[in-house]
């Protein structure tokens, strides 16, 4: 079983890794829509690149759920990690239209819903 320190390091790693990938989406979309494709790149290469990216994205969304969302629900994140996770989910939420255009798998609806519920609960606690 993972130690608390190891779990915390894993959470930090996945927070950074997933954020970097989400922040890169606009550049990837731009690359995909760029009509100036180098002559040596074939249509098959372009299709393979997109399929590969979509497969990697699906894996990334699976890791979002398994490596971040489950520890978040279980209370295994520090306050700073939980705040970073909520910020990541907010970024992902803002990117949903882009993900749709790119035909990328969105995070499971429960992930976004649980984060919104948690945020609402924290807001009402702070207000009381």
pLDDT in tens, 43-90: 888 889 999 999 999 999 999 999 999 999 999 999 999 999 999 999
* Predicted local confidence at residue 125, as pLDDT: 45
Task: Give the tokens for residue 93.
Answer: 């939420």
* Predicted local confidence at residue 128, as pLDDT: 47
* Predicted local confidence at residue 36, as pLDDT: 81
Distance CA 116, CA 16 (A): 21
| Predicted confidence (pLDDT) per residue in 108-124, tens digit | 998 988 767 765 555 44
What φ, ψ does residue 125 adopt, rounded to 5°?
A: -70, -40
Count the helix, strand and coil residues of the chain and give each as a percent rounded to the nearest 5.
80, 0, 20
CB-facing half-sphere around the CA of 71: CA atoms within 13 A: 24
When pLDDT is averaged across residues 38-46 and rounded to a whole number, the result is: 82
Distance CA 125, CA 107 (A): 27
Longest dimension (CA), the chain: 63
| Predicted confidence (pLDDT) per residue in 95-105, tens digit | 999 999 999 99
Instruction: Indicate the pLDDT class of residue 2, thresholds 50, 70 and 90.
Output: low
């Amino acid at each position: 079983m993972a130690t608390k320190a190891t779990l915390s390091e894993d959470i930090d790693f996945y927070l950074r890794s997933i954020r970097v990938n989400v922040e890169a989406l606009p550049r990837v979309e731009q690359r995909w829509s760029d009509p100036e494709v180098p002559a040596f790149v074939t249509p098959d290469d372009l299709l393979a690149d997109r399929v590969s990216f979509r497969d990697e994205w699906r894996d990334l969304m699976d890791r979002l759920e398994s490596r971040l969302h489950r520890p978040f629900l279980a209370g295994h994140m520090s306050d700073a990690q939980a705040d970073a996770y909520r910020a990541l989910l907010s970024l992902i939420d803002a990117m949903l239209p882009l993900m749709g255009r790119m035909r990328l798998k969105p995070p499971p609806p429960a992930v976004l819903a649980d984060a919104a519920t948690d945020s609402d609960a924290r807001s009402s606690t702070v207000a009381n």
